[in-house]
Structure 1
């Protein structure tokens, strides 16, 4: 006998359910959904309940909370996180990277030394690939150093897309035709794919920035791009994220935030640096 899928009433989400979920998701990710996001949250949870064949929110939520292998939790994280970006977003920071930040970083380095750059969250890969494009096209000393780009996100679905490096024309509309020709190929269905050499040169990893255990391996970075993530956090989670970035950076390392974010309002760990192209934040050389 076939078991019917839950009906709209059987998987309805009560106010108490929403509060339980919100607190749980906050503890796991640092992301706090305000009341005005209720519709967004309900629709995505209900879709997960239906797709998994669960009888009720309670059954689904128990599985998310107590499943040993965390597959259901990861699937929930993937549908709840917002991933909207494009190549060369906030390009002024990329200009700052090649004109001001890296020239300062390499003052104490020798030829062949390693420069480490972390893109967190990397979403579907536009940011780390943009960094690679920009270094290759606009930094004259790119061949003097060993450059490592690590790209991380909490969402495993977007990481799979990032590794594939496949994009519609809208994503690359701000990239010059010559750059696209040089570093991307056209697929049969009219999409653009980053060339193999570049895709293989970037290390994509899954991590949660407020999870100290997961982030213990992220160390020694000279530059961190953490743009448009902290706006989804509350004050406590922002401070935890700032501390994680601080620990990941080398002394004198830099962090670039989104245009509406300010480290000065979050943490006193960093020094504000005003370059001609952008305002960024620096880990003190002696900290």
Structure 2
């Protein structure tokens, strides 16, 4: 049986968002799930097995209109949980990227997400109740050579989440940022990074990442870095010069680094 509460999960068709939506439904939340692809409707069928109400929306969250469509689908219900997970990656050298491609990363990860967060946070503040989980990344701690725009957007989200949390400190609204490292999702293929070392290396199971984020949100924590290797990398990033971090990132994300890594292992 459902608990009568509503959770919105963005980017729920695959990966971390898909796994978080399952956790929310298991905990009795009705779901409003969204992605910019028809696969979200198949995912919704999967979520329904937990016995709660599930509504799926195909919308472009890079636009205000897409976010308005999502919010309208709540039909006036209070939003008890918002999981702002939708995001877009982009690999390769910045000077070689199409303007439309890097703008779409910013519009999805920053502009659209910020708009949705403001709309929902306003509702939650007025009710003095609610939980927000934002999918940031340890990438936000590292200047991302060959992922420059993407890492920059995650730095924004990591920072923004703490600022919003502070502004809501005297309310019963909590804000948590999930900071995963590389996770076994479609992200790297979609970002055209399958010829990079990070693209082919072993990654964290998205179900484990999702559980870490969901548990942190429910405990009211400010953030969680998912995975012990990522915790170590996050700690190192705070004491390592940015120029060094950027150079190290090159070894992981530069096109062709997958082949170089393979040769080095032989």
Q: Give the alignment's TM-score, normalised by structure 1.
A: 0.35
Higher helix share: 2
